[in-house]
Structure 1
């Protein structure tokens, strides 16, 4: 199991795979959202956005699996001991909270809409004739804004690796690569 599990010096291959797979999927999600905001409804935004629901669901499942894996490895993981480390812990908790909340709102809206949802052909939500307004409203109000908040926090997360490297002379990125 050497290399697969996390250690106090670095994250193992499974944690790294979760991290970089999710980073790539989020990059695609954010690219689609930014394209839509930037250029509106075009063939390009429809192409990129066509996978938004399915990838959002995939990310929702992955964040729960990654969280469970992280908890199972918690005592083996690199430690964040100083004040900046505590800020990193808070930042990671915020990222996880947003990674759970944003797709949860979308799934709630999807169910409330009465439209079917079958990611990868798996029927999760059947079609219904009526809408449930209270399920649609929270996502209509918050999904967009919390999604862009997640983007800002993720960009801050990436920026902190640069700050660690340049100002503190710590290559924290090496732990995840």
Structure 2
């Protein structure tokens, strides 16, 4: 279950792939801009956006705590690109944390309240809070950044697997 210098453990892999699936689902929201969301994705998956985002906020917290507890034994990047790899992972973690936080700012700043998986956690107020709205305005640009980081992350993993033919992808794939 624990990570080792050679590979990520079961908990790290479960968190990684569960979040990858949920983030992929969340990024489908970008397709909501096509035809004003009047299509299957906009009508079926997008209504879950706030609930899945809230779940991701919890999961990123768990993932950060787990990563900190495993930091001494995790696989470490080596070579001249190691600083870039660390920076890329840092940006991924930061954007995964900031996405749901700025989403909360949108919801609360506009007085929408917060309803997660059908449970009203914070009541609608209808009151606008300018500073929360300002922070919430970062949500959409962060989504594009996250998309770019995810594409880069996948591209790097595939590059390692198919071009460099090393075990980088296998460390997380199981």
The counterpart of 2:121, out of the listed 107, 121, 124, is 124
Structure 2 SS opposite 1:75? coil
Matched, 1:56 2:53: yes
**Greater share of strand residues, 1 or 2?**
2
Runs (5+) with no aligned partner, structure 2: none
Matched, 1:109 2:102: no
Matched, 1:42 2:38: yes
Q: Report the TM-score when normalising by structure 1.
A: 0.90
Structure 2 SS opposite 1:153? helix
1:104-143, CA deviations, whole angstroms, 9 ceiling, x for partnerless residues? 1111121122222121344432222422122112223x21
Q: Give the equivalent residue in structure 1 for 2:92.
A: 95
Asked if structure 1 preserves the Cα contact closer than 8 Å seen for 2:110 and 2:126, the reply is: no
Aligned length: 172
CA distance in 1, matches of 2:130, 2:50: 20
Asked if structure 2 preserves the Cα contact closer than 8 Å seen for 1:161 and 1:171, the reply is: no
1:60 is displaced (CA, Å) by 1.1
Q: Give the equivalent residue in structure 2 for 1:24.
A: 21
* Root-mean-square deviation over aligned CA pairs: 1.5
Asked if structure 2 preserves the Cα contact closer than 8 Å seen for 1:8 and 1:76, the reply is: yes
